[in-house]
């Protein structure tokens, strides 16, 4: 409906469709967005002075911040009327009900609606469109049709003999009908997007549009007028620079090519593998790929060339290049920036720095397997490579206040170099302390305290205290502090310990008794 706001992912779909020369009305019907809404968003983009390519490169949060949501107040009379037609079609089957009666009901609900003559004409056109069927001419590189096979393959556990069914993902290009097949654990979002990514890698390029069936992983809410596309699948499509054009619910003709491909896959792949036993997905997919290569290389029944030949000669060049990096599914969470300027990501148990001026602010964290981004008010304020090191820190020095940057430089070499400049004995003492901890970071404060006595107590006293503590074979900050406070560092060290006298007693047995 006009007046509704749209997500930035859907806005990117509008931009891509418009770049492909699609008319406003066609975009409206394709995405289930009112024509006036599409028009006003495009006018808003034009008023901002940014090119479409610049907007498509922006993160969703940046784009949302750039474009203030327009105030839509007008409704769409046409969509209100068209939404009434399915009900009208059913009511006309009842005795005594005619168009005049139903138009009266329509006008009661929508006083500013169409006149009776216009109402009847639009209903006639709507009815004729529902009955129409046309042959679709596919353009090279235009659409990739996606579906799952109804029947499933089975995996058998090699130890327990347990049988587990797996799904079969099938995609085919509209022009060449070049097909990709993969067995996946489920139809869940993660498996669906991963298989779609593998399909694009298989084709070596990206079509203009992806046409999935109305499964939940692709379409969150199937609707004739406003299908709600899964946000993660939209993000996937935007990553590769293509649009999502879901098939209509209960309209198999919208994806007839992939429906046909599925039926052929049954005879060309399922049938040859029906008596084979597989214990894992990799071995099953290797067997599928062997048969798939044969299938794609076999000539069409009524044409001399094969799907592979048609793809190589006419469609491959029409595909857009793949993105530099493969898509990674993102996860999101909210956090408040603590005083030490690092947000904690529980997945991986790692800390990532955030600019100190955002201390106390609530931020949004978007993370994938390789990257972590932090947003505040739709603006990205930090970006890091993902780390799997537990209980460690990834820090950008510029994120820290000037008083903290000294701390960010702490590492074992920093303290060893400092100690070496004091005295070799102090250097050795600090080295032993650092090596005594599993994680050197745990010893940093102890080292800082010991080396701080170079200024507080004087270098000579620190060196004497370290030598005495080494003689005690005790390596920590506390013993250095006790020696300095008690003045033991001023006493001369005993070069040799006085040998103990041998004790002789009837109740004491010597070492000879234990040989």
**Per-residue pLDDT tens listing for the chain (515 residues):** 344 566 777 778 888 888 787 888 888 777 778 888 888 888 777 777 677 777 777 777 777 777 654 433 334 678 888 888 888 888 888 888 888 988 888 888 888 888 888 888 888 877 766 554 444 567 888 888 888 888 889 999 888 889 999 999 998 888 888 999 999 998 888 888 899 999 999 999 999 888 887 666 656 555 555 556 677 888 888 888 888 877 655 555 445 666 778 888 888 888 999 889 999 999 999 999 999 999 999 888 777 889 899 999 989 999 999 988 888 888 888 999 887 788 888 887 888 889 988 888 899 988 888 889 899 888 888 989 888 766 677 888 788 776 555 555 667 888 889 899 999 999 999 999 888 876 566 677 788 889 989 888 899 999 999 999 998 888 988 899 999 999 888 888 765 444 455 666 666 666 666 55
Quote the Cα angle for 213-215-217, to 5°.
115
The separation between CA 244 and the C-alpha centre of its own chain, rounded to angstroms, equals 17
Q: 350 and 307, same structural domain?
A: no
Q: If you search the block for the tokens 């009955």, which residue do you land on?
A: 131
Last residue of a domain, one of 379, 405, 431: 405
Closest by Cα among 157, 334, 320 to 242: 320
Q: 308 and 240, same structural domain?
A: yes
Please report which helix (H) or strand (E) contains residue 167, including its range: strand 163-173
Q: 286 and 155, same structural domain?
A: yes
Last residue of a domain, one of 405, 430, 457: 405
Residue 514 falls inside a structural domain: no
Q: 485 and 418, same structural domain?
A: yes
Residue 500 falls inside a structural domain: no
Question: In sequence order, which ranges of 183-255 are alpha helices (DSSP H)?
Answer: 189-203, 231-240
Interhelix angle 412-420/444-456, rounded to 10 degrees, is 20
Q: 198 and 292, same structural domain?
A: yes
Q: 401 and 359, same structural domain?
A: yes
Question: In sequence order, which ranges of 110-180 are alpha helices (DSSP H)?
Answer: 116-131
Residue 91 falls inside a structural domain: yes
Q: 381 and 266, same structural domain?
A: no
SS3 424: helix
Domain holding 104, by residue range, is 77-131
Predicted local distance difference test score (pLDDT) of residue 317: 92
SS3 341: coil
Q: 154 and 299, same structural domain?
A: yes
Last residue of a domain, one of 66, 95, 110: 66
Side-chain half-sphere of 409: how many Cα atoms within 13 Å?
Answer: 11
Residue 513 falls inside a structural domain: no
Predicted local distance difference test score (pLDDT) of residue 226: 53
Residue 282 falls inside a structural domain: yes
Distance between CA atoms of residues 331 and 372, nearest Å: 10
Q: 275 and 156, same structural domain?
A: yes
Cα dihedral across residues 311, 313, 314, 319: positive or negative = positive
Q: How many domains does the chain have?
A: 5
Provide CB contacts within 8 A for 415, sequence distance 6+.
430, 434, 444, 447, 448, 451
Predicted local distance difference test score (pLDDT) of residue 286: 94
Q: 265 and 314, same structural domain?
A: yes
CATH code: domain of residue 195: 3.30.420.10
Residue 497 falls inside a structural domain: no
Q: 174 and 60, same structural domain?
A: no
Closest by Cα among 418, 432, 417 to 477: 432
Residue 300 falls inside a structural domain: yes
Q: What pTM value is reported for the model? A: 0.53
Asked whether 463 and 480 are in contact (CB, 8 A), the reply is: no
In this structure, the number of other CB atoms found within 10 A of the CB of residue 481 comes to 15
Asked whether 426 and 469 are in contact (CB, 8 A), the reply is: no
Q: How far apart are the first and last CA of the chain?
A: 97
Q: 458 and 374, same structural domain?
A: no
Asked whether 42 and 10 are in contact (CB, 8 A), the reply is: no
Residue 233 falls inside a structural domain: yes
What token pair was written down for 175?
Answer: 């022009």
């Amino acid at each position: 409906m006009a007046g509704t706001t749209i997500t930035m992912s859907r806005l990117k779909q509008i931009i891509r469709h418009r770049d492909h020369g699609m008319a406003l009305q066609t975009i409206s019907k394709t995405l289930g967005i009112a024509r006036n809404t599409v028009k006003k968003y495009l006018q808003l983009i034009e008023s901002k002075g940014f090119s479409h390519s610049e907007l498509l490169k922006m993160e969703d949060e940046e784009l949302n911040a750039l474009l203030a949501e327009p105030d839509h107040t007008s409704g769409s009379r046409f969509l209100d009327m068209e939404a009434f037609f399915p009900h009208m079609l059913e009511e006309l089957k009842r005795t005594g009900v005619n168009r005049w009666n139903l138009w009266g009901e329509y006008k009661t609900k929508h006083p500013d609606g169409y006149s009776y003559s216009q109402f009847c004409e639009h209903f006639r056109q709507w009815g004729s469109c529902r009955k129409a069927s046309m042959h679709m001419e596919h353009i090279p590189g235009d659409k990739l049709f996606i579906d799952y096979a109804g029947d499933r393959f089975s995996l058998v556990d090699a130890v327990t003999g347990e049988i587990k069914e797996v799904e079969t993902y099938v995609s085919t290009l509209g022009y060449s009908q070049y097909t990709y097949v993969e067995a996946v654990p489920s139809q869940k979002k993660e498996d669906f997007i991963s298989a779609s990514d593998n399909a694009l890698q298989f084709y070596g390029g990206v079509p203009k549009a992806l046409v999935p069936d109305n499964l939940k992983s692709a379409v969150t809410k199937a609707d004739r007028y406003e299908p709600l596309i899964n946000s993660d699948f939209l993000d996937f499509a935007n990553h590769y620079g293509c649009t999502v054009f879901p098939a209509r619910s209960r309209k198999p003709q919208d994806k007839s090519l992939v429906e046909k491909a599925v039926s052929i896959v049954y005879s060309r792949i399922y049938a040859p593998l029906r008596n084979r036993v597989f214990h894992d997905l990799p071995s099953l997919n290797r067997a599928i790929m062997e048969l798939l290569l044969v299938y794609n290389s076999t000539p069409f029944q009524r044409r001399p060339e094969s799907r592979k030949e048609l793809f190589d000669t006419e469609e491959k060049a029409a595909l857009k290049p793949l993105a530099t990096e493969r898509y990674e599914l993102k996860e999101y969470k909210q956090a408040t920036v603590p005083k030490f300027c690092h947000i904690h990501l529980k997945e991986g148990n790692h800390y990532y720095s955030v600019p100190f001026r955002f201390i106390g602010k609530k931020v949004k964290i978007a993370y994938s397997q390789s990257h972590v981004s932090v947003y505040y008010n739709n603006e990205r304020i930090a970006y890091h490579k993902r780390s799997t090191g537990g209980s460690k820190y990834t820090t950008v020095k510029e994120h820290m206040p000037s008083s903290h940057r000294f701390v960010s430089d702490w590492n074992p070499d920093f303290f060893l170099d400092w100690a070496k400049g004091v005295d070799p004995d102090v250097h050795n003492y600090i080295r032993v302390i650092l090596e005594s901890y599993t994680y050197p970071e745990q010893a940093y404060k102890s080292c800082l305290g010991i080396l701080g006595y170079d200024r507080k107590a004087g270098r000579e006293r620190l060196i004497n205290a370290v030598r005495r503590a080494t003689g005690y074979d005790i390596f920590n900050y506390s013993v250095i502090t006790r020696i300095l406070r008690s003045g033991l560092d001023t006493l001369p060290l005993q070069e040799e310990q006085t040998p103990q006298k041998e004790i002789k007693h009837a109740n004491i047995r010597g070492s000879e008794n234990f040989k």
